Structure 1
Amino acid sequence: MAFLQASIYSNVLEMEVSVNVILPQKTEKKIGTATKGNLTDVPVMYLLHGMGGNHSVWERRTSIERYVADLGLAVIMPSTDLGWYTDTCYEMNYWTFLSEELPNICQELFPQLTTKREKTFAVGLSMGGYGALKLGLAKPDNFGAVASLSGAVNLADRVEDLLAIRGKKFWEGIFGPFEQIKGSSNDPMFLLEQLVKSGKTAPNIFLCCGEEDLLLYGNKKMAAALTANTIDHTFETGPGNHDWIFWDAWIQRVLEWLPLEK
């Protein structure tokens, strides 16, 4: 594998953005493991961080590079600050950057990456789980599968979960008044409704959450909504809380679940 640390300029955000990238590279080692490499049509996973994290956190807190070494999978890990993968009310358009600009930049810099929907994935934890699910529901033509680990996927009905983390002014700077979240483009439940109405094919969806996690209720409700709308999905829970012990274990489960040639 090749591990790259890049600084790219975002015209959308009007700032430099840090991105870590894992690329398949064919290697033959006398000591250690060999890895698969492919120069064309490489599957790609956008791996999103949570609150308090950045482009480096998945690499530092898990063994993600080792986990994907034999999968022939590229991993894009952008830093998106505390923007919640949203075009914020303070005019920082993190959603537009993530969903439109970043894939174009990655295609420009790494032309070996696939352009096929069925080989493009989004995965994230907590805030990033929200972002990954949002990508799948709002951009179903672009993603074949998305996975949310302990995601904040039921914002509109669980405002108390948000207020337990940060104050009201913080959240309203991102989403606007709380009462405007429900039924907006920042509400995953609303995005699900719109996807169903559109008749478009939904990506495969994976939800998981620790059984001691504050966000378990919201994940159960999202899973129930996916079931009610006959959206193909997997929902799994297990022992654990909202922490890296859980996420390091479950990212391995997600990689097993992804539709990759193994």
Structure 2
Amino acid sequence: MAMMRCNYFSETLGLSTSMTVIIPQATTGQVGMKGVVNRERHPVLWLLHGGSDDDTIWMRRTSIERYVSELGIAVVMPQVQLSFYTDMAYGGKYGTFLMEELPQIARSLFPLSDAREDNFVAGLSMGGYGAYRWALSKPDMFAAAAGLSTGNFPFWSPGPGGEFPPFLRLAFGDGPHTGTDNDLYHLVQSCDRAAGPKPAFYQACGTNDFLYDLNVELKEVFEQSSLDYTYAEEPGVHDWAFWDKTIQDVLRWLPLERV
């Protein structure tokens, strides 16, 4: 595998940002990995970071490079700050950046397939919310989407008095949030009613995760739809031990052409 980190200027955001990218590489000289290249333009997993992290975190906390080495799949990991992958109420237009600008930039720099059947998106916590928001908003772009330890964050009030915390207000504003493009429940229902192809969805959460109830609420909304949806839970908390394991489950679940 070839790994690189790119800094570039985003026209949407009006500032410099970065992405970390893994590209398939045919090699027999990497110890413990079998590099595979299946085609000229690679299938791609858009892999999104959580709220306290950046585009390098999946490389630093998991063995994602090793896990994808035999799959012939590229991995694109963008940096979006604490934006919840939205056009922030008080901040940058990270939702537009993610859904519109990032694919164009990444595909101009790297040999990535733009075919729906070759595109997948996943993330953890804030990144899981972003992955679902992206796939539900643009179902014709993805074959599959996965969220780990995530939920419908505009409706989360974690404070002792149930108050909406400042970091969520920066992303989502003061509301109301119901029925907006940031409301995953609304997006699930809209995607379910829409014509055309729709992604398969995967969700996983540890039963001791502090976001467990938020995950269960989202699970119930998915299960009320006719969307192709898989849910998995097991003992675990909101940490990298759980995500390092479950990203491997996600990779096995992806509808990839296996070699």
Residues 49, 127 of structure 2: 8 Å contact kept: yes
Aligned to 2:166: 169
2:117 corresponds to 1:118? yes
Q: Report the residue type matching 1:18 in the other structure.
A: S
Q: Which moved more, 1:24-33 or 1:165-174?
A: 165-174
Task: Provide the C-alpha distance between the structure 1 equivalents of 2:197 and 2:160, rounded to a whole number of angstroms.
Answer: 35
Partner of 1:182: 178
Distance 1:125 1:166 in 2: 23
1:114 to partner: Cα distance? 0.7
The residue correspondences of 1:201-216 to structure 2 (distance < 5 A) are: 201-216=197-212
Aligned residue number for residue 23 of structure 2: 23
If the length of structure 2 is used for normalisation, what is the TM-score? 0.94
Deviates more, 1:163-172 or 1:211-220: 163-172
5+ unaligned residues in a row in structure 2: which ranges? none
Aligned match of 1:50: 50
Matched, 1:154 2:143: no
The secondary structure found in structure 2 opposite 1:161 is: coil
> Structure 1: any 5+ residue segments left out of the alignment?
none
Asked whether 1:253 is paired with 2:252, we answer no
SS in 1 for 2:28: coil
Contact 2:157 2:164 in 1 (8 A): no
Q: Distance in 2 between matches of 1:219 and 1:78?
A: 24
Q: Displacement, 1:239? A: 0.8
Q: Does 1:219 align with 2:215?
A: yes
When the two chains are superposed, the root-mean-square deviation of aligned CA atoms in Å is 1.9
Letter in 2 for 1:205: F
Three-state SS of the structure 1 residue aligned to 2:226 is coil
Matched residue, 1:140? 139
**Partner Cα separation in structure 1 for residue 64 and residue 29 of structure 2:** 20
State the alpha-carbon separation in 2 of the partners of residues 99 and 84 from structure 1: 13
Match of 1:130 in 2: 129
Q: Report the count of equivalent residues.
A: 258
Contact 2:158–2:164 (Cα < 8 Å) also in 1 = no
Deviation at 1:163, TM superposition (A): 7.5
In structure 1, distance between residues paired with 2:252 and 2:4: 24
Deviation at 1:40, TM superposition (A): 1.5
Q: Which amino acid aligns with 2:17?
A: V
Q: TM-score, normalised by structure 1?
A: 0.93
Write the distance in 1 (CA, Å) between the matches of 2:168 and 2:30.
52
Shifted more, 165-174 versus 53-62: the winner is 165-174
Asked if the contact 1:161/1:215 (under 8 Å) is kept, the reply is no
Letter matched to residue 160 of structure 1: S
Q: Check the 8 A contact 1:27/1:37 in 2, yes or no.
A: no
Cα distance in 2, alignment partners of residues 51 and 260 from structure 1: 28
Deviations 1:204-260 (A, max 9, x none): 000000000122222222222222211101000011000111001100100000011
Mapped contact 2:143–2:199 kept (Cα < 8 A): yes
In structure 1, C-alpha distance between the alignment counterparts of 2:191 and 2:122, rounded to whole Å: 19
- The CA deviation string for residues 14-57 of structure 1, in whole angstroms up to 9 with x for no partner, is 11111110000111228543311245231100100001100110
Report the identity percentage: 41
Counterparts in 2 of 1:32 and 1:175: CA distance versus 1, 3 Å: closer
Superposed CA deviations along residues 55-74 of structure 1, whole A, max 9, x for unmatched, are: 11000000000010101010
- Partner secondary structure for residue 53 of structure 1: coil
- Which stretch has the larger CA shift, 33-42 or 210-219? 33-42
Deviation at 1:170, TM superposition (A): 2.7
Q: How far apart are 1:119 and its partner, in Å?
A: 1.0
Whichever residue aligns with residue 239 of structure 1, its letter is P
